[in-house]
Amino acid sequence: MSQGRIITGVDIGTNKIVAVIGEVEEDSLKIIGVGKVKANAISNEGFITNIDDLKSKLELAIEEAEKMADVQVNQIFVNLFGNKVKCFSAHGEADVLNPKSGITKSDLMRALEDSKHSIEVSEDEKIIHMLARSFKVDGMDGIKDPVGMSGENLETDVYVVASADSVIRNIENCVQKAGLEVRDFVYEPIASSEAVLTEDEKEMGVVVIDIGGSYTNITAYTEGVIRYSDVIPVGSNSITNDLAIVLRTSYDEAEKIKRRYANLYELDNENDKVELFNTSRENVKLVSKKYINEIIFARLEELLKDIYGRIKKEKLLNDIKSGVVITGGGALIEGLPVYIEHFFDMSCRIGRPLSLKGLFDKINSPLYSTAAGILKYAEKSINNSVYTDRGFFGNLLFKIREFFETYF
């Protein structure tokens, strides 16, 4: 099998590491290998707390996927995680070189290059994504593909994602220790959205909520392009913690209870009781399902209020016509979509990786959205190469491909 056609996406999560190997076919992406290993080496602040542990778990996940796919992996696309990421808009402008013969890719490139003037990143930050959202030609707004149009002036609105360089270097170090190379990073909220959304949803307006172990990623799309993304350092592990503390049991027992009994339809069920161990596992006590789910509900309600407040503050509520898509392990709580429908007054569905071939049934769960999204994102970028050797973008070659990827 030719290595050029094989790509690997790795999701380094706070609860697990997932490696997914894909084979790029003419118009589809075929999953050929999957590896998943439990991990616990990222702090709540997004720092790698145990690089050796993370390295060996990463090796295990890659090995499992390699065996299944019968290929050897050298380079990976990996998630940019944590909350040391900055997202903002930038504006670029260029005079069209030949207004009569129409706007060219080279004009777009100059408009993008010009956007560097409005990008404020410090020396210890690095740009990870530059996504062209829309163009203006001679002041005419909302143009998605200006190439070929006649006009004298071209403006572009770019969505920029930048990260603390230290975070990037730490991930790169860990990957290198595992004998691999980072081919590129994909910002986690963008990756999850890429896996679970349809183009129609992005066009109509949609919010993706990826509830992981320690993080909740939020992303909003309207008119086909990204409007907002954010990371809240609270995830479904906080629910487990709450259960352990309030029910006076161990974290592991609380995790079992959560997975077995979390069900927001059980909030009225006073009589149905379940057994659980105390912290030392010496005694068993009876607790109602209602009480368990009240504890779960309290944390979720706080998280959802926070998310709703953020979407409202961004003035996006009226533009989200397609509703909410929840994904990540936290989306597996029974009854959560219905509760979100009431809370947001929008429809809600669970998001799993879409439109993949091959062993897609092995990743047909919200737990695999980020890894699958990294792979889909990587495939798109590779398929849309545009090369440049311009100074400012010398180290941003891949980002330029990505810029064009949105429109060509």
Ligand X SMILES: Nc1ncnc2c1ncn2[C@@H]1O[C@H](COP(=O)(O)OP(=O)(O)OP(=O)(O)O)[C@@H](O)[C@H]1O
Q: What is the spatial distance between Cα 41 and Cα 11, in angstroms, rounded to a whole number? A: 13
Largest CA distance in the chain: 83
Is residue 206 involved in binding ligand X (CB under 6 A)? no
> Mask: binding to ligand X, 366-395, rule CB under 6 A, as x and -?
-x----------------------------
**Minimal distance, residue 348 CB to Mg ion, in Å:** 19
Candidates 185, 187, 215, 393: give the one binding ligand X (CB under 6 A): 215
The yes or no reply on residue 193 touching ligand X (CB under 6 A) is: no
Per DSSP bridges, beta strands 273-277 and 357-358 are unpaired
Task: Tell me the residue number closest to Mg ion, measured at CB.
Answer: 212
Rounded CA-CA distance 254/169 in Å is 35
CB of 11: closest distance to ligand X in angstroms? 6
* Contact window for ligand X (CB under 6 A) among 167-175, 254-262, 339-347, 392-400: 254-262
Binding segment (CB under 6 A) for ligand X, from list 126-134, 166-174, 327-335, 345-353: 327-335
If we measure between CA atoms, which residue out of 64, 93, 61, 92 comes closest to residue 78?
61
Instruction: Provide the sign of the torsion angle of the four alpha carbons 384, 203, 143, 192, taken in this order.
Output: negative
Residue in 255, 266, 379, 405 binding ligand X, rule: CB under 6 A:
255
Residue 262 interacts with which of Mg ion, ligand X, none, CB < 5 to 8 Å by class: ligand X
Q: Which does 235 bind (CB under 5 to 8 A by kind): ligand X, Mg ion, none?
A: ligand X
Beta carbon of residue 372, minimum distance to ligand X (angstroms, whole number): 12
Half-sphere exposure in the Cβ direction for 115 (13 Å, CA): 26
Q: Is 333 in the site for ligand X (CB under 6 A)?
A: yes
Closest by CA position to 347, among listed 321, 369, 328: 321
As measured in angstroms, the least distance from the Cβ of 13 to Mg ion is 4
CA angle 251, 257, 263 (to 5 degrees): 130
Rounded to a whole number of angstroms, the minimum distance from the CB of residue 193 to Mg ion is: 12
Q: Check residue 189 for interaction with Mg ion (CB under 5 A).
A: no
Q: Which residues contact 47 (CB under 8 A, 6 or more apart)?
A: 82, 167, 170
8: Cα within 13 Å, side-chain hemisphere: 30
Instruction: List all residues 6 or more positions away from 246 whose beta carbon is below 8 Å from its beta carbon.
Output: 295
Cβ closest to Mg ion, residue 13 vs residue 33: 13
Exactly one of 6, 8, 10, 13 binds ligand X (CB under 6 A); that residue is 13
Shorter beta-carbon distance to ligand X: residue 180 or 209 = 209
> Considering only residues 46-105, where is the footprint of ligand X by CB under 6 A?
81
Total residues in contact with ligand X, by rule CB under 6 A: 23
Q: How many CB atoms lie within 10 A of CB 70?
A: 10
Window 194-233: contact mask with Mg ion (x via CB under 5 A): ------------------x---------------------
Question: C-alpha dihedral over 303, 192, 74, 127, to 10 degrees?
Answer: -80
Residues 6+ apart with CB under 8 A from 237: 14, 15, 213, 214
Handedness of CA 78, 22, 355, 405 (dihedral sign): positive
Residue 214 in the binding site for ligand X (CB under 6 A): yes
Closest to ligand X by CB, 41 or 111: 41
Exposed/middle/buried for residue 250 (C-beta within 10 Å: 0-12, 13-18, 19+): middle
Among 146, 205, 212, 337, binds ligand X (CB under 6 A): 212
Interactions with ligand X, residue window 115-154 (CB under 6 A): none
Q: Give the x-and-dash track for 16-55 against ligand X (CB under 6 A).
A: x---------------------------------------
Cβ closest to ligand X, residue 156 vs residue 229: 229
- Measure the CA–CA gap between 28 and 360, rounded to whole angstroms: 12
User: In 18-86, where does DSSP find H-type helix?
Assistant: 51-69
- The whole-angstrom separation of Cα 293 and Cα 282 is 24
Which residue ranges make up the site for ligand X (CB under 6 A)? 13-16, 81, 212-215, 235-237, 240, 255, 258-259, 262, 328-330, 332-333, 367
Which residue ranges make up the site for Mg ion (CB under 5 A)? 13, 212, 370
